[in-house]
Amino acid sequence: HRRTTATINATTSAIAEATASFRHNANQDYPSLISAVKGNRERSAKLTASTEIISDNTEAISRARTQYSKLYRADQWKNSRDEPDHSQQRRSAGENLNRTTLSLVTSDQSSAEFARNVGDIEKNLVQMNERKQEIEKPRPKQDRGMDFGM
């Protein structure tokens, strides 16, 4: 009986120390964690906006390239001897445009994944806060006396 009581007391003390340590760490780290999540959300929004701008610019470049290509073909027949060969430049511009498009797709996917991760972090923070409140909630003292059913 004494060993059981001593074990229960030691376990209770260890749980109380761990709870106090968790509470102390949570109180210290929680504000900076919230701040980091908010900062990440803002950066994610900026990244998404920048990705949209780049996408719009890529479309404008593509339209200009198409128009230039049509104009160049028309000019090519007039001054074939005087004009330098722009086929290499066109190929290079096309490759660059394809790479830019691929980068945009990758950036958009990364941005979406980052936004999902930020959402998961926010959910985890809410759960941590709820658990913290549960831990800090006062509990009624249980009667440790013997109950003989009287």
**Which amino acid makes up residue 130?**
E
- 52-56, 68-72, 95-99, 131-135: least confident range: 68-72
37 assigned to some structural domain: yes
142 assigned to some structural domain: no
143 assigned to some structural domain: no
pLDDT tens by residue, 8-60: 999 999 999 998 888 888 888 888 888 888 888 898 888 888 888 888 888 88
150 assigned to some structural domain: no
- As for how many domains the chain has, the answer is 1
The H helix count followed by the E strand count for the chain is 2, 0
Is 8 in contact with 117 (CB distance < 8 Å)?
no
- The CA distance from 28 to 18, in Å, is 15
Domain encompassing residue 104: 2-132
What is residue 15's predicted lDDT score, i.e. its pLDDT?
92
pLDDT at 141 over 70: no
Query: Whole-prediction pTM value?
Result: 0.36
118 assigned to some structural domain: yes
Is 41 in contact with 120 (CB distance < 8 Å)?
no
pLDDT tens by residue, 74-118: 555 555 555 566 677 777 888 888 888 888 888 888 888 888 888
pLDDT at 146 over 70: no
